[in-house]
Amino acid sequence: MARILVSACLAGEKCKYSGSHNLIPAIAELVRRGKAVPACPETLGGLTIPRSPAEIQGGNGYDVLAGRARVVDEEGRDVTAAFLRGAAATLTKAREIEAELVVLKEKSPSCGSKLIYDGTFTGTTRPGPGVTTALLREHGFRVISEEEFASKVKKCGSGDIIP
């Protein structure tokens, strides 16, 4: 049974806001071998592909969960509700597979684990988690970025990740 949940874009699914992906071959291989399950919080929340990029304004993912910040797309539309739905759906999936590790896309307003864009749409980042990462962590799941994942693969050498 798969015990790793991964951002679908990292597995090569074209679910990124631009309609592209962020393929990490080692992650795609884990999915292919049935050791990982892909999920895209933003599409699970009902957002389309492609879609306007979105960023958290007024805080980080924890602030969005608490109602102190919101997620707004580049057109100025508040898409907070979709991000909250996607985070909840991803939490359900993590529970279903009893995920021991969650590998999500850094800087994403959903999936960022250490960094997110700062809400100005200038490419500037700030410390903090995205909405999905914050919710998963509140429920005790271990969430890392694809960058942390890559460093673990190099350390292991085998391509197998042991949570």
Phi, psi at residue 55, to the nearest 5°? -140, 155
Q: According to the model, what pLDDT value does residue 151 have?
A: 86
Q: What phi and psi, each to the nearest 5 degrees, are found at residue 51?
A: -150, 165
* pLDDT tens track for 42-68: 999 999 999 999 999 999 999 999 999
Residue 158 C-alpha from the chain's centroid: 25
Specify the higher pLDDT residue, 38 or 155.
38
157 pLDDT higher than 70:
no
Query: Is it the case that residue 113 has pLDDT exceeding 90?
Result: yes
- Total-model pTM: 0.93
Which of the 8 DSSP states describes residue 12?
A: T
Domain residue limits, the chain: 4-156
Residues 6+ apart with CB under 8 A from 36: 2, 4, 5, 6, 11, 27, 30, 103
26-30, 95-99, 147-151: least confident range: 147-151
CA-angle at 128, arms to 122 and 133, nearest 5°: 110
Give phi and psi for 39, each to the nearest 5.
Answer: -150, 140
Residue 8 pLDDT exceeds 70: yes
Binned at pLDDT 50, 70 and 90, residue 142 comes out as: very high
Instruction: Give DSSP secondary structure letters for 29-80.
Output: HHHHTTSEEEE-HHHHTT--SS---EEEESS-HHHHHTTS-EEEETTS-B-H
Output the furthest CA–CA distance in the chain (Å, rounded).
Answer: 45
| Residue 156 banded pLDDT, cuts 50, 70, 90 | low
Percentage, residues of the chain above pLDDT 90: 90
Mean pLDDT (the chain, rounded): 94
- Confidence class for position 162, pLDDT limits 50, 70, 90: very low
